[in-house]
Structure 1
Amino acid sequence: MMLLAQALLTGLLASLAAAANFDQGAKGINTGEFLQLAPGARAAAMGEAYAAAADEASALYWNPAALTRIKSRSATLMHASYVADSYFDYAAGAQNLGDWGALGLGAQFFSAGPIPRTDDAGGDLGEFRPYGLALSLGYANTFRDIELMDDLNGVSVGFSAKFVRGAILDHDNTAAFDIGLLTPEYFERLRAAFTVTNLGRGLKYEREYAPLPLAFRFGTAWKLLPGWRATCDIVFPRHNRLYPALGTEYSWTVSPAVSLSGRAGFNAVSIGDIEGFSSVSAGVGAAFHGMSVDYAFLPLGGLGQAHRLSLTFDF
C-alpha cells in the first residue's frame, strides 16, 4: 500500500507541476465548456466530489476506472434545467465483463436555447441555438495477481475516448480522451482516485482554435459510519485556479430492497465569479429494486438556480 500511496502522490505532484503552467487568468478562453457540466443528480448534490465515489454508469464521466465497480449492468439518464431556456441532458450505459473488465457508453448534450441574432446596425437576423454534443466510449479493468508488483493488485485503470462537437454560428468537431485511476477500498473505509480529463485538440471557431477544458482531479471517499460517507476532490483546471469540492451522503436502509438518501455538497469553483448565494448544493434520492431516483438543487446566485433529476437502473 505504501508503494501505491507514493505513486499516487508522485502522480498528483507531477500533474500539479505540469498544471503550474496553466493560466489562471485565462477564464473563458476554452471551447467545449459544456464538458464541465456534471452529469448525475447524486454527484451534483455532493458538490461534484465524485471521482472516488462513482459506482454506476456515470462513472464513465467522473472516472472511467470506476466502471469496474459496476456489478453487472447500469444505465443512467439525467435532465438538468439551467438559466433562461438552456438545458443539459446525459445518458450512459455500462456493462461489467468479469475478468475482461468493463465497458461504458455515454452521450451528453447541452443547448443554450434560442439567442437573437442581429447585424451591425441592430437589424433582426432571426435566432441561433448554440449547442454542444459529446459521445463517449470507455473501458476499464483491474490489476490482479501481479506477483512482482503486488501493491498494484486491486487497482483499477480506465480510459475513455470522446467525439466532441460544438456549435455557435458554425460548428467544429474534435476528439478528446479521459484517463482514470481508482484504488481498492483500504481498511474497509477509504478509496482514492486520480483523473485527467479532456485531453485533446480544441474546437475551431472563426479560424482560431481554443483549448478544451483540460483538468486534473484527485479524489477520496471515506466511509465514516455505516450508511454515511464523505468525499473530497481537489481539481486543477487549465482555465482556472485550483479548487476543492466536498460532499457527504447518508443513506437509510428502509428494507432490503428500499433505501433513502440525503446529500449535501460544496464546490469552490465559482467563488468570486458569481454574486449571491452559490457554491453549495443539496439533494435527495430513493432506491428500490435496482432503480434509483435522485434530485439535486444548486443555487446560482444572481443567475437563479439549477435543478437536476436523474434515473439510474442497475440490473
Structure 2
Amino acid sequence: MLEHSTFYIRDFYMIFVKRKIALKKTLFVLLLFVSILTHAQSVRKYSNEFMNIGVDAAALGMSNAVTASTGNVNSGYWNPAGLFRIEDSEASLMHASYFANIAQYDYAAYAKKIDDRSAWGISLIRFGVDDILNTTQLIDSQGNIDYNRISLFSTADYALTFSYARKSQLKEITYGVNAKVIRRIIGEFANSWGFGIDAGLQYQKDDWQFGIMVRDITTTYNVWAIDEDKFNEIKDAVEGQNQDLPEDTEITLPKAQLGIAKKFEFHYDYTLLAAVNLNMQFARTNDILASDAVSIDPAIGFEFGYTDLVFLRAGVGNFQNVVQLDGSTKVNFQPNIGLGFKYRGIQVDYALTDLGDQSAALYSNIFSVKVDLSIFR
C-alpha cells in the first residue's frame, strides 16, 4: 500500500512541476507582450495592413473566425499551432482581385509533418497594383505636354513566412510560431524590409476548441530606403505638396485574436462548425468596442458540411462605427458566404465577401485550392 502511495505522490509531483513550468513560460510571454505594448503606444495604428486581409476562401467565407478551428496548411497564417493537425503534407493556392480588379492578391503555402509531435510550413503573399501611370514628367521643361514621357511602375507588398508547430507535454495543447520577412516596393521611388514574429496556441477539450493568435508579438519593424532623386520628381509635380521626405521607419503594433469553436455532428453525415472570434487591436479604432487601451471587433462564422464532401459557409464580421455625413454614427458590418467541395484530398473553395454591401468595403470573389499531397503517393 505504501509503495502505491509513493507512486501516486511522485506522479502528482511530476504533473505539478510540468504545469508550474508551463505557467512560468506563459507569464513570461504575457509580461513581454505587455512591456512591448507599453513601449509601442506612440507608433502609428496602421502598418503592413495587407497582412490583415486573410487567406483561404474557406476561412474568408466564415468571416475569418477560424483562430480556434484552423488545422491545415493555411494555419501558418491564421494560427501556426494548427499546422500540427495536418496528417502528411499539404499545399494551398489562392487568388483574389480587389478594387474592381485594380489590385491583385496572391497566396501560396506548403506544410509538412515532421514527426508525431511537430510540423513546419512556409507561405508567400503578394498584394500589388501593376502598370501604374507615372505622369510626373508629362510636362517637359518648356511647358509642353509629351505623352512619351509617361512611364509605368508597380507597387507591391510581399510577405514570406516560416512556421513551426509543436504539441506540448499536455496533450490537449499545441503551440506555434511564425517568422515573417516583409518586403514592400513602390516602383523606383522607395522600398523597405521588415521582420516580425507571430505566436499562437490551441487547446482542445472534447468537441470544444480554443485558440489565441498574437500577430507581430515583438512588433514588426520596417526600414524604408527612399530614392531622393525620384522623390524630387514627385515634390516638383504639384507645387506646395509632398515637400518633405516621408518617415523611413515604421513599427507595426501587435494584434491578438481569441477564438472558440465547436463542431456538431448529426446522423454521421452532417456536421456544423460554429466559431466566434474576438479580434483585438491595442489602440483606439472604429471597431464596435473601442477604448484607448484596446479595440475589439467580433466575428462569427458557420460551416455546414455533408459527408466531408460539400460545405456551405456563412459569417459576419468587421463591425465598425462609421460617422455619417450628418454627424451621426452607424454600425456597419461585413457579411460573407462561401461554398466548398472536397474529393480525394483536393479541396476547392469559393467565397463572396461583403454580401449585401453593408460595409464600406467592396465585395470580392475569392477562389482557393488546397491539396493533400499524400494522394500522389
Shorter-chain TM range is 0.7 to 0.9
CA contact (8 A) 1:143 1:155 kept: yes
| Residue of structure 2 equivalent to 1:180 | 200
| Residue of structure 1 equivalent to 2:165 | 140
1:110-189 matches, within 5 Å, as: 110-119=127-136, 125-144=150-169, 152-168=170-186, 169-183=189-203, 185-186=204-205, 188-189=206-207
Task: Kindly provide the amino acid, as one letter, of the partner of residue 44 in structure 1.
Answer: L
Structure 1 gaps of 5+ residues are: 145-151
SS at match of 1:50: coil
Could you tell me how far 1:200 is from its partner in structure 2?
Answer: 2.4
- C-alpha change, 1:38 and 1:11, in structure 2 (3 Å) is farther
SS at match of 1:68: helix
| Residue of structure 1 equivalent to 2:322 | 272
1:69-108 matches, within 5 Å, as: 69-84=85-100, 85-108=102-125
Alignment length (residue pairs): 298
Give TM-score, length-normalised by structure 2. Answer: 0.69
| Residue of structure 1 equivalent to 2:344 | 289
Identity of aligned residues (%): 24
Could you tell me how far 1:11 is from its partner in structure 2?
Answer: 9.7
SS at match of 2:72: coil
Root-mean-square deviation over aligned CA pairs:
3.4
CA contact (8 A) 2:138 2:150 kept: no
Could you tell me how far 1:129 is from its partner in structure 2?
Answer: 1.8
CA-to-aligned-CA distance 1:254-287 (integer Å, 9 cap, x gap): xxxx610000111125552899975111100000
Equivalent-residue separation in structure 1 for 2:183 and 2:122 (angstroms): 17
SS at match of 1:113: strand
| Residue of structure 1 equivalent to 2:5 | none
Equivalent-residue separation in structure 2 for 1:43 and 1:20 (angstroms): 32
CA-to-aligned-CA distance 1:114-145 (integer Å, 9 cap, x gap): 3333439988753432110011111111013x
Equivalent-residue separation in structure 2 for 1:207 and 1:268 (angstroms): 29
CA-to-aligned-CA distance 1:19-72 (integer Å, 9 cap, x gap): 5887699554x2x21111201000100000111111111100111111101111
1:295-310 matches, within 5 Å, as: 295-299=350-354, 301=359, 304-310=362-368
CA-to-aligned-CA distance 1:186-213 (integer Å, 9 cap, x gap): 1x21111111112321343644312225
Task: Select which of 242, 245, 260 maps to 2:310.
Answer: 260
SS at match of 2:67: coil
Task: Kindly provide the amino acid, as one letter, of the partner of residue 194 in structure 1.
Answer: I
SS at match of 1:35: helix
**Bigger relative contact order, structure 1 or 2 (CA pairs below 8 A, ≥6 apart):** 1
Could you tell me how far 1:113 is from its partner in structure 2?
Answer: 3.4
Equivalent-residue separation in structure 1 for 2:43 and 2:195 (angstroms): 26
| Residue of structure 1 equivalent to 2:55 | 39
| Residue of structure 1 equivalent to 2:281 | 237
Structure with the bigger percentage of helix: 2
Equivalent-residue separation in structure 1 for 2:98 and 2:257 (angstroms): 25
Equivalent-residue separation in structure 2 for 1:19 and 1:228 (angstroms): 37
Equivalent-residue separation in structure 1 for 2:49 and 2:200 (angstroms): 20
1:196 and 2:208 matched: no
- C-alpha change, 1:269 and 1:107, in structure 2 (3 Å) is farther
CA-to-aligned-CA distance 1:80-113 (integer Å, 9 cap, x gap): 1111310111111111122351010111110133
SS at match of 1:201: strand
Equivalent-residue separation in structure 1 for 2:120 and 2:350 (angstroms): 26
1:250 and 2:281 matched: no
Equivalent-residue separation in structure 2 for 1:25 and 1:214 (angstroms): 11
Equivalent-residue separation in structure 2 for 1:276 and 1:11 (angstroms): 38
Structure 2 gaps of 5+ residues are: 1-18, 140-144, 226-245, 286-294, 325-329
Bigger Rg, which one: 2
| Residue of structure 2 equivalent to 1:55 | 71
CA-to-aligned-CA distance 1:217-238 (integer Å, 9 cap, x gap): 1111111344101111111124
- C-alpha change, 1:235 and 1:276, in structure 2 (3 Å) is closer
1:109 and 2:126 matched: yes
CA contact (8 A) 1:195 1:217 kept: yes
Task: Kindly provide the amino acid, as one letter, of the partner of residue 116 in structure 2.
Answer: D
Give TM-score, length-normalised by structure 1. Answer: 0.82
